[in-house]
């Protein structure tokens, strides 16, 4: 049985314990990738982290049911104070004020990625990679819209400034994350070999 097919059927086969195992493993992957952080303050107050890559990988590997749960678990652990956010920080006070919209968009982005990939991935590598690329682009769009909306609606940035500082600097690096995630996710066939 293929990895994804096996993971997707575990909650039905083994119940809550296996679901928690896979969502916790996903949250741990999220913690590890979030520690990859690059600050480009002159361009944007929002830091570059591996969080978007984590959302994409989880969406493709865990699917539309488990990926959002893993991302939500990561967020809850961080918000209650465990050191899971970038720089091994935790708690609401440890988050840069600029990241709220991105964080809120992670759960729906993981859900969207998983649902689109489930719907359109074919049997061979190329169709799976194409589906993963499209799902990744859609998920990144959701994340960028969430970040942009937060900057405009909560922090009162002018819409153009929010676009220039909260979206545009991230497009090239997030495009690379989409490609990397697609290449990784497409390695696992959907059906038994």
d(CA 109, CA 115): 10
Whether 190 is in a domain gets the answer no
d(CA 107, CA 66): 11
Whether 164 is in a domain gets the answer yes
Whether 136 is in a domain gets the answer yes
pLDDT in tens, the chain (193 residues): 345 555 555 555 567 888 889 899 999 999 999 998 877 656 666 778 899 999 999 999 999 999 999 999 999 999 999 999 988 889 988 887 888 899 999 999 999 999 999 999 888 899 999 999 999 999 999 999 999 999 999 999 999 999 998 899 889 999 999 999 999 999 986 542 2
- Residue range(s) defining the domain that contains residue 176: 3-185
Q: How many domains does the chain fold into? A: 1
Q: Which of 85, 143, 144 is nearest to 93 (CA)?
A: 85
Whether 193 is in a domain gets the answer no
Whether 191 is in a domain gets the answer no
Whether 171 is in a domain gets the answer yes
pTM: 0.87
Whether 25 is in a domain gets the answer yes
CATH at 101: 1.10.1760.20
**Cβ–Cβ under 8 Å, residues 83 and 90:** yes
Q: How far out from the chain centre does Cα 154 lie?
A: 22
Q: Which of 71, 77, 75 is nearest to 56 (CA)?
A: 71
């Amino acid at each position: 049985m293929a990895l994804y097919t096996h993971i997707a059927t575990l909650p039905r086969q083994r119940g809550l314990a296996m679901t928690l195992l896979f969502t916790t493993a996903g949250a741990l992957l999220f913690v590890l990738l979030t520690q990859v952080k690059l600050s480009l303050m002159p361009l944007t107050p929002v830091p570059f982290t591996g969080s978007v890559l984590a959302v994409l990988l989880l969406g493709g590997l865990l699917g539309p049911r488990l990926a959002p749960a893993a991302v939500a678990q990561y967020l809850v652990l961080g918000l209650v104070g465990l050191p899971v956010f970038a720089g091994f920080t935790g708690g609401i006070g440890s988050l840069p004020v600029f990241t709220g919209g991105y964080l809120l968009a992670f759960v729906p982005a993981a859900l969207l990625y998983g649902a689109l990939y489930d719907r359109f991935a074919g049997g061979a590598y190329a169709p799976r990679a194409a589906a993963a690329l499209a799902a990744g682009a859609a998920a990144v769009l959701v994340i960028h819209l969430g970040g942009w909306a937060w900057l405009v609606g909560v922090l009162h940035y002018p819409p153009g400034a929010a676009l220039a500082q909260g979206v545009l600097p991230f497009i090239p690096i997030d495009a690379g994350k989409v490609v990397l995630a697609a290449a990784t996710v497409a390695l696992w066939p959907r059906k038994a070999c």
